[in-house]
Amino acid sequence: MAPRILLARHGQTEWSLCGKHTGRTDIPLLDEGRRGAKLLGERLHRAPWTGLPEAEVCTSPLSRAKETCELAGFGDRAREWDALLEWDYGAYEGLTPGEIKASRPGWLIWRDGVPEGEAREAVAARADVVVEWARSADRDVLVFAHGHILRTLGARWLGYDISFASRIRLDPTSLSILGWAYGEPAIERWNDTGHLG
């Protein structure tokens, strides 16, 4: 079996609901986010995944990702990993894209980065470490993390620059799968929220 990586974005929070950049601020899940995490877990414990018994599981140490992992039924198997932390948005933490563009017209995080925060190259390098780990053995991996780091993982899995992540949006409590097609890295499933009904 060629290794795949299953990506679970954390459930809805107050800041994700209103579009605020939520990097290292530890915002808790809303009730809607907790409900979505349980539904995601129910889905992953049914066929064809049946609980992913052979998969390695990792989670961001931030509570919104850890709680999503726990509510989905994988907390007892999960290892916390700083490589899965969300982008450090620096001076843009807690701001919406609209608020940022009011003073910086045309701004795009994937191209322009953030002041006083983590460089685009550093985020890509963290994603590369996760990709290398995911491909390191004959087993699937499941990660619980955040929108921008997971989008970066998608871009880097495919071999693209971090800027490609601007083209692959990701909703809260979504499921995505990165795998292979004809021996090349491929997207098997992306931003799937079918479990939310």
Low-confidence ranges of the chain (pLDDT < 50): none
Query: Of 51, 64, 61, 54, which is closest to residue 9 (Cα–Cα)?
Result: 64
Q: Helix, strand, or coil here: 146?
A: coil
pLDDT score recorded for residue 197: 86
Q: Are 169 and 97 within 8 A, CB to CB?
A: no
Domain coordinates of the chain in residue numbers?
Answer: 5-196
What would the pLDDT profile of 16-57 be if each residue is shown by its tens digit?
Answer: 999 999 999 999 999 999 999 999 999 999 999 999 999 999
CB atoms closer than 10 angstroms to residue 192? 15
Return the CATH number of the domain spanning residue range 5-196: 3.40.50.1240
Q: Within 10 Å of residue 169's Cβ, how many Cβ atoms?
A: 11
Q: Are 149 and 127 in contact (CB under 8 A)?
A: yes
Q: Position 189: which residue type?
A: R
Helix, strand, or coil (residue 97): helix
User: Phi/psi at 141 (nearest 5 deg)?
Assistant: -130, 150
Buried b (16+ CB within 10 A) or exposed e, 35-65: bbbbbbbeebeeeebeebeebbbbbbebebb
pLDDT digits (tens, 9 = 90+) for 74-83: 999 999 999 9
Q: What is the DSSP letter of 52?
A: -
Catalytic sites, residue numbers = 10, 86
pTM for this entry: 0.96
